């Protein structure tokens, strides 16, 4: 794997005006941090895709300068520039007549790699992005949409470029697959440390993926460029406030530490144990203390022992090691008993949390912020 240092991208007064007079990007000043994910987000017509495509000169700017490590992108040959920048688009854009392996090997072959070396690299990347190597000889039409997007990411990474451009890459897949692809991208980034510019119209995707988020107005004007937590907590004006959404306070909990939240006791039963005499909710666990669901004592329907047929789904789980206040609150609110289940790194039950526990921590954070101001 190439260990080349990731690169800084800088927009200096960049403007794009089309021949009909439409201004897609208007005097954009912005620095994309090296080794981080920067997300461009905004409504249709705000210039986010145009801004992205000016980096690899698929669209030429009409004013200003875009530099990579201080070098003007227009000073390089456009084809050479693009070969050194990974590019992922909607629905992957794969070559339908090439196998998955040869799709991924495309750029290395263009760069003059031998076929064996290029295919070897492609096989490595299939594993890296979570594709079974037995798919190597298949064609794109034989893969699901999510699998095709993974191939698109692998192809963009094939020559190990320091920069990766991603233009709404996950927008054409269903929500479950989309979340899986987002998690996969974050995992890959933690290993590879690329400089990634990501375009989306979805503010939830932007705040989940971005180390920094650039919100653009219609007409290509930068409205706010900030870390996701600051963006949610302190939108600069009504446009950003409305675009981020009315539930931004809840989403903002994802950026608040839950280290101080109280973990309470939680009664548990194992499958096969006698049903308790009272009408309380009890969490049911397996032999390794992994949660299996809830048993409602008030709705036992003649059951004498706890069995799988009487279990109620348990809602989301709160990971005490890596969870945020948002995940803690979601665990409490999604639990049928009102008690969120906290688990350790191995998925074993560690205790309970309630919505009141979370709100107390939120009040403490707010008081600390007020005192610091």
Give 65's strand partners: 12
Query: Residue 77: which CATH number?
Result: 3.40.50.300
Q: Read off the pLDDT band of 3 (50, 70, 90).
A: very low
At 292 the pLDDT is 92
Which of 227, 255, 283 is where one domain is finished?
255
Confidence of residue 1 (pLDDT cuts 50, 70, 90): very low
Alpha-carbon distance 196 to 208, whole Å? 14
Query: Is 369 a domain residue?
Result: no
Q: Round to whole Å and give the CA distance between 362 and 325.
A: 8
* Ramachandran category for residue 64: left, alpha or beta (phi over 0 → left; psi -120 to 50 → alpha): left
pLDDT in tens, 257-316: 788 888 999 989 888 888 777 778 889 998 899 999 998 877 776 677 877 777 888 889
User: In terms of residue numbers, what domain contains 303?
Assistant: 268-361
| Whether residue 219 sits in one domain with residue 302 | no
Residue that has been written with the tokens 């008993």 in this structure: 337
Asked whether residue 53 falls in the same domain as residue 127, the answer is: yes
For residue 6, the 8-state DSSP code is P
Least confident of 22-26, 189-193, 302-306, 360-364: 302-306
Domain final position from 190, 225, 255: 255
CB contact at 8 A, 149 and 173: yes
Residues 292 and 247 in one domain: no
Angle between helices 115-128 and 145-157 (to 10 degrees): 130
The pLDDT score that the predictor gives to residue 275 is: 79
Rounded to whole angstroms, the Cα distance separating 323 from 310 reads 29
Number of structural domains (the chain) is 2
Same domain, 281 and 334: yes
Half-sphere exposure of 74 (CA within 13 A, CB side): 11
Q: Which CATH number characterizes residue 317's domain?
A: 3.10.580.10
d(CA 209, CA 166): 12
Q: Identify the three-state secondary structure at position 198.
A: strand
- The pLDDT score that the predictor gives to residue 39 is 97
Q: Does a structural domain hold residue 338?
A: yes
Q: What is the rounded average pLDDT for all residues in the chain?
A: 88
Return the DSSP state at 122.
H
Domain boundary among 255, 290, 318: 255
Q: Identify the CA nearest to 283 among candidates 268, 304, 298, 263.
A: 268
Q: Are 306 and 200 in a shared domain? A: no
Given pLDDT bands bounded at 50, 70 and 90, which one contains residue 50? Answer: very high
d(CA 112, CA 106): 10
The answer to the question of residue 373 being in a domain is no
| Max Cα–Cα distance, the chain, nearest Å | 79
The pLDDT, as a whole number, for residue 373 is 54
- 202 shares a domain with 284: no
Average pLDDT over residues 234-246: 89
- Please tell me whether residues 296 and 239 are part of one structural domain: no
117 sits in which H/E element: helix 115-128
Q: What pLDDT is attached to residue 371?
A: 64
Q: Domain for residue 296, yes or no?
A: yes
Residue 371 lies in a domain: no
Tell me: do 148 and 218 sit in the same domain.
Answer: yes
In this predicted structure, the answer to whether residue 2 has a pLDDT above a threshold of 70 is no
- At 365, give phi and psi (nearest 5°): -60, -45
**Range with lowest mean pLDDT among 28-32, 158-162, 356-360, 368-372:** 368-372
| Whole-number Å distance between alpha carbons of 110 and 33 | 29
pLDDT > 90: what percent of the chain?
A: 51
Nearest to 163 by CA among 48, 21, 45, 7: 7
Per-residue pLDDT at 110: 85
Contact 256, 269 (CB under 8 A): no
Domain contains 172: yes
* Residues 243 and 283 occupy one common structural domain: no
Strands 195-200 and 63-68: unpaired
State the CB neighbour count (10 A cutoff) for residue 296.
16
In the sheet that holds 37-41, the strands lie side by side as 85-88, 163-167, 195-200, 37-41, 212-217, 221-226
Residues 204 and 328 in one domain: no
pLDDT tens by residue, 120-132:
999 999 988 889 9
pLDDT at site 5: 56
Question: Mutual orientation of helices 175-192 and 145-157 as an angle, nearest 10°?
Answer: 20
Instruction: Examine residue 263 and state whether it is found in any structural domain, yes or no.
Output: no
Residue 4 pLDDT exceeds 60: no
pLDDT at 64: 96
Q: 250 falls in which pLDDT band (50, 70, 90)?
A: confident
Specify the pLDDT at position 6: 63
What are the residues whose beta carbons fall under 8 Å from the beta carbon of 134, sequence distance 6 or more?
none
| pLDDT score at 19 | 92
- When mean pLDDT is compared over 142-146, 278-282, 369-373, the highest value belongs to 142-146
One domain for residues 247 and 282: no
| Structural tokens at position 219 | 């007409």
Q: From CA 16, how far away is CA 47, in angstroms rounded?
A: 9
* 141 shares a domain with 85: yes
Q: Is 319 domain-assigned?
A: yes
- Angle CA 152–154–159, to nearest 5: 115
Torsion-angle region of 21 (φ positive above 0: left; ψ -120 to 50: alpha; else: beta): left
């Amino acid at each position: 794997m190439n260990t080349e240092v990731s690169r800084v991208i800088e927009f200096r007064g960049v403007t794009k005006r089309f021949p009909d007079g439409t201004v897609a990007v208007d005097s954009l000043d912005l620095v994309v941090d090296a080794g981080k994910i920067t997300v461009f987000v905004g409504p249709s017509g705000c210039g986010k895709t145009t801004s992205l495509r000016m980096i690899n000169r698929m669209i030429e700017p009409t004013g200003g300068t875009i530099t990579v490590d201080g070098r003007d992108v227009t000073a390089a040959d456009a084809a050479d520039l693009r070969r050194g920048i990974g590019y992922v688009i909607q629905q992957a854009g794969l070559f339908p007549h090439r196998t998955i392996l040869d799709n991924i090997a495309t750029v290395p072959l263009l760069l003059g790699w031998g076929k064996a070396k290029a295919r070897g690299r492609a096989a490595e990347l299939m594993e890296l992005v979570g594709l079974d190597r037995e798919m190597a000889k298949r064609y794109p039409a034989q893969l699901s949409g999510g699998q095709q997007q993974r191939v698109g990411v692998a192809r963009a990474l094939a020559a190990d470029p320091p920069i990766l451009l991603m233009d709404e890459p996950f927008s054409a897949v269903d929500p479950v697959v989309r979340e899986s692809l987002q998690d996969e991208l974050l995992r890959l980034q933690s290993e590879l440390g690329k400089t990634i510019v990501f375009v989306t119209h979805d503010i939830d995707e932007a705040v989940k993926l971005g180390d920094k988020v650039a919100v653009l107005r219609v007409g290509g004007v930068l409205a706010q460029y900030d870390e996701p937590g600051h963006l949610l907590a302190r939108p600069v004006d009504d446009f950003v406030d409305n675009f981020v959404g009315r539930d931004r306070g809840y989403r903002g909990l994802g950026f608040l530490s839950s280290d101080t939240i109280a973990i309470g006791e939680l009664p548990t039963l194992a499958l096969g144990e006698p049903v308790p005499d009272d009408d309380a909710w009890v969490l049911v666990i397996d032999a390794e203390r992994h949660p299996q669901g809830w048993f409602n004592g008030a709705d036992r329907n003649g059951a004498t022992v706890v069995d799988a047929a009487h279990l109620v789904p348990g809602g989301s789980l709160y990971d005490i090691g890596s969870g945020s206040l948002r995940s803690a609150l979601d665990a409490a609110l999604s639990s049928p008993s009102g008690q969120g289940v906290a688990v350790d790194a191995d998925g074993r039950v560690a205790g309970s949390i309630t919505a009141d526990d979370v709100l107390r921590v939120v009040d403490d954070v707010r008081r600390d912020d007020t005192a610091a101001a």
